[in-house]
Amino acid sequence: GDSVTQTEGLVTVTEGLPVKLNCTYQTTYLTIAFFWYVQYLNEAPQVLLKSSTDNKRTEHQGFHATLHKSSSSFHLQKSSAQLSDSALYYCALSGSNVGDNSKLIWGLGTSLVVNP
Amino acid sequence: DAAVTQKPRYLIKMKGQEAEMKCIPEKGHTAVFWYQQKQSKELKFLIYFQNQQPLDQIDMVKERFSAVCPSSSLCSLGIRTCEAEDSALYLCSSSQFNSAETLYFGSGTRLTVL
């Protein structure tokens, strides 16, 4: 079936160092869009990045991700982690086939902890 | 501030009681989604409305929940008989058309079942 896999439940990084959160997927949908959502403590999830174009880098708030359909991945990266980046990050896939409603598939989430 | 409004913010019920939570989607959004989030952090999909009609829902919702969107500006999620396992944060989200568009989440209703 269709799925989104975030391999790390917890990622810990020191402030100022690069960080990468992994996201891979498996889908039979014909039309797909990818999202990264971030949820800060005691807040609602909010969109961080969105992409539906293969091999195109998408950036927002210092984070970037590139959809690679060849490797079924949409990893999230940042060159220099900040303390304020500590949050829960979700990778999600929206897909549909012809004539069907689109469906949103969520990864289980990765907690990012940035230490001083 | 979240563009989607949820009330109440906190809800405490005894086992066996009925619970109801409300959601005001962002104006102009036609798709509404409800999710359950427990301490394990997984976002569990519950039900999806499109133009106030339920298009997709999990079996648990069919069996024990009641969910409606009587208008484009109000949706509600109810639990007919609360169980301890229902203790969770219930998140309502809306998007302009469907799940291919960005979802905007409310702050959630935190339900505690004693």
List C-alpha distances in Å: A24 to A60, A89, A106, B7, B37: 20, 14, 11, 35, 22
Q: Which of B71, B73, B90 is nearest to B24 (CA)?
A: B73
Q: Do A47 and B102 touch (CB under 8 A)?
A: yes
Whether the CB of A33 is below 8 Å from some CB of chain B: the reply is: yes
* pLDDT tens, position by position, B49-82: 999 999 999 999 999 999 999 988 999 999 999 9
Q: What is the pLDDT of residue B41?
A: 86
Q: Which residues pair with B105 in a beta bridge?
A: B93
Q: Do B103 and A88 touch (CB under 8 A)?
A: no
List C-alpha distances in Å: B47 to A72, A84, B56, B69, B103: 27, 32, 6, 11, 14
Q: How far is A94 from chain B (nearest CA, A)?
A: 5
Q: Do B42 and A108 touch (CB under 8 A)?
A: yes
Q: How far is A9 from chain B (nearest CA, A)?
A: 10
Q: How far is A33 from chain B (nearest CA, A)?
A: 6
Residue B83 pLDDT exceeds 60: yes
Whether the CB of B25 is below 8 Å from some CB of chain A: the reply is: no
* pLDDT tens, position by position, B25-52: 999 999 999 999 998 689 999 999 999 9
* pLDDT tens, position by position, A63-116: 999 999 999 999 999 999 999 999 999 999 998 877 777 888 999 999 999 999
Query: Which amino acid appears at position B86 of this protein?
Result: D
Q: How far is B37 from chain A (nearest CA, A)?
A: 11
Whether the CB of A2 is below 8 Å from some CB of chain B: the reply is: no
Cβ–Cβ pairs < 8 A, chains A and B:
53
